[in-house]
Structure 1
């Protein structure tokens, strides 16, 4: 059996950072060997075990990724775009792979990520849940089978603290459907409706966003035809399903050639 992949967790004090530490502690394929948080954070110097609700692990949170490049093989990053790009520069210099679950990147920032995939391997996904990625495959198949005779609407709900909308997962679902139908999402997306909107135009793909409470993540894609409605939905009850997928991606990524990868490759979905 090969040695566990050494992972560094960014944003260790965040909801997803803690979940990744929990998931990794239960996986034989990886081992957390470094953890980081923003400079000035109250958790700097704290043991990551109790931070994640686990027993002591004798591994302290640090604030400078560049000082620890010999301590990990793959970075797992669920932070914010600026922090992700700072980590990206370190990983490019050190030849380390990244698993990126951060959302909300600008077009310019996405170009920077794309450029980096010529030098290091990166798995980037809007959602690392195995179930969500199976849903994306089902959406592709449904859209191709149903064609242009059905209206498509996407509804997503998340906790009150989420800062971007629609969610990256909702956009990934929209992009999957649009591509299967031969459309450009940027040309057909409608983000919310208000007032006298006129009749719905068939090619559009609608998005509705809900924010409140502690909702981990609900996504529903509706194909609405005359006399019937088909709905493909995913509802997350905790963050461990996302963290388990990210851990699986980190184990898969180690030793890969430079390139842009997604959960389809990780899960063998084609």
Structure 2
């Protein structure tokens, strides 16, 4: 049994995680939101789960480090500076950062990497995602995670090898580029498809999220797995043993 603290507890994901914690045999150490002190929460928790905002990341990492406890980071919209903060914290505590805590998406990313590695750059890769109208970042963290998996399969960096936001006379598609398309509307929890298009054939790998409970279950499983791990930076595939 673990005491799990939730950062971003009033949000939709935070509420879903709280419900899963209450039915999983663990204790809810409490939750905080904007304006609250993460150090106070960390002092009474065994592990933190952060689904807040990028601007709160530095304080949340500092709180986990100060208490000497691990932290799961599911916040999306992170940039290079945020990953630098995570790397620095991971020298002192166990940190698991992911763009998606779904176990299904984690396996999907593994399959995308394998497909990209075996099919080669003669196959064009397009990643299409759709989310609810209130989502503020694009492409989604999950789409970027899938893009990174495809790039890793090809042995290239995602940065510098992407195409997105096509409009007007864009010219022909660059060979080997990984394309992104982001759709927003309604109350869609999350739809992702990775299309590998070759000459005269096409392969589509996809995942549909029906509600946020799947992400909450994955986040709690990640928190369970992270307890007792040595210092370092971890990923969701490691939770599944991939």
Which of 10, 15, 19 is the aligned partner of 1:18? 15
Written as runs of structure 1 = structure 2, the 5 A alignment for 1:192-231 is 192-231=165-204
Q: Flag structure 2 segments of 5+ consecutive residues without an equivalent.
A: none
TM-superposed CA distance for 1:120, in Å, is 0.4
* Equivalent-residue separation in structure 2 for 1:133 and 1:13 (angstroms): 26
Kindly indicate whether the alpha-carbon contact (under 8 Å) linking 2:31 and 2:41 is maintained by their aligned counterparts in 1: no
Using the size of structure 1 for normalisation, the TM-score is 0.87
The 5 Å alignment of 1:55-134 reads 63-134=36-107
Deviation of 1:140 after TM superposition, in Å, equals 1.1
Provide the C-alpha distance between the structure 2 equivalents of 1:262 and 1:152, rounded to a whole number of angstroms: 23
TM-score (norm 2): 0.97
The reply to whether residue 32 of structure 1 matches residue 31 of structure 2 is no
Deviations 1:190-214 (A, max 9, x none): 1121111111122111100001111
Secondary structure of the corresponding residue to residue 255 of structure 1: coil
Uncovered stretches (5+) of structure 1, i.e. residues with no partner? 40-62
**Deviation of 1:69 (Å):** 3.3
For the residue of structure 2 that corresponds to 1:202, the secondary structure is coil
Q: Secondary structure at the match of 1:160?
A: coil
Residue equivalent to 1:232: 205
RMSD, aligned α-carbons: 1.1
Q: How many residues align?
A: 242
Once the two structures are superposed, residues 104-136 of structure 1 have per-residue CA deviations (whole angstroms, 9 ceiling, x without a partner) of 122112101111000000111110000000101
Shift of 1:70: 3.2
Q: CA deviation at 1:183?
A: 1.8
Partners of 1:73 and 1:144 lie apart in 2 by: 39
Residues 159-174 of structure 1: pairs in structure 2 closer than 5 A: 159-174=132-147
| Counterpart among 154, 159, 167 of residue 186 in structure 1 | 159
Cα pair 2:5 2:41 within 8 Å, conserved: no
Any idea what SS the aligned residue of 2:225 has? Answer: helix
For 2:41 and 2:153, locate their aligned partners in 1 and report how far apart those are by CA, in whole Å. Answer: 43
Deviations 1:11-69 (A, max 9, x none): 111000000001111212x3212211223xxxxxxxxxxxxxxxxxxxxxxx3222243
Kindly state the Cα deviation for residue 137 of structure 1 after the two structures are TM-superposed. 0.8
| Runs of 4+ displaced beyond 4 Å | none
SS of 1:246's equivalent in the other structure is: helix
Matches within 5 A, 1:132-171: 132-171=105-144
Higher Cα radius of gyration:
1
Give SS of 1:126's match. coil
Distance 1:93 1:181 in 2: 39
